[in-house]
Amino acid sequence: GVDKGLLELNGKPLWQHVADTLMTQLSHVVVNANRHQEIYQASGLKVIEDSLADYPGPLAGMLSVMQQEAGEWFLFCPCDTPYIPEDLAARLNHQRKDAPVVWVHDGERDHPTIALVNRAIEPLLLEYLQAGERRVMAFMRLAGGHAVDFSDHKDAFVNVNTPEELARWQEKR
C-alpha cells in the first residue's frame, strides 16, 4: 500500500506538515516509521522503527519512541493529520491535570493516537502489547487517561486516508 505520510498536500508530504507544526511547539521531534526510513531521514529528523516484530500498530510506535528517547513526556501525532493546531501541545499539557496520558476529542470523536503520554506508563504499555492487545483507546483508558476537548478545532483532526480525500482537502484549503 501507499505510505500515507508521503502523500503530498499543497506540494509537501503530509508527514512534513505535521512535523513542521510540532517543531514550533516542541524542543525535539522524531519520526516513527517502519518503511521508507531514508526519505524521512533526509529531513534531518531521527527516525525510530518499531521495536516489536510485525509492527503491531500505533501503540508499538509509541513504545518504541519511549524506549529509545529521553524525556518524561511525549506528544504523539499520526502523519495523516496535517492540520493539527499550533497550540496542540500546550492545550493537552494544560488540561491533563494529573493524568499520565491525555488525547484529543474533537467534539464528536476521540483521537487517541494524538496524545500526550508520560513515560511512567511505558511498563504498562509493554505488558499490554506483550499480552497481544492492540486497541489504542482501551489502553489509554486503562492507563488512567482522559480526553481533552478540541471541539473548537474540529477540522484540525480530520485524517487523510486516501488520495481522493487528500484531493478534497486541497480544494478546501
Give percent of the chain above pLDDT 70: 94
Q: Is the pLDDT of residue 159 over 80?
A: no
In this prediction, residues 141-167 reach a mean pLDDT of 86
Q: C-alpha grid cell for residue 84?
A: 493539527
* CA-closest candidate to residue 67, choices 44, 40, 48, 41: 48
pTM, to two decimals: 0.92
Q: Any idea what the CATH number is for the domain that residue 15 is in?
A: 3.90.550.10
pLDDT at 161: 67
Range of the domain at 37: 4-172
Residue 37 confidence class, pLDDT cut points 50, 70, 90: very high
> What's the rounded Cα separation, in Å, for the pair 170 and 173?
5
What is the count of structural domains for the chain?
Answer: 1
Q: Is the pLDDT of residue 1 over 90?
A: no
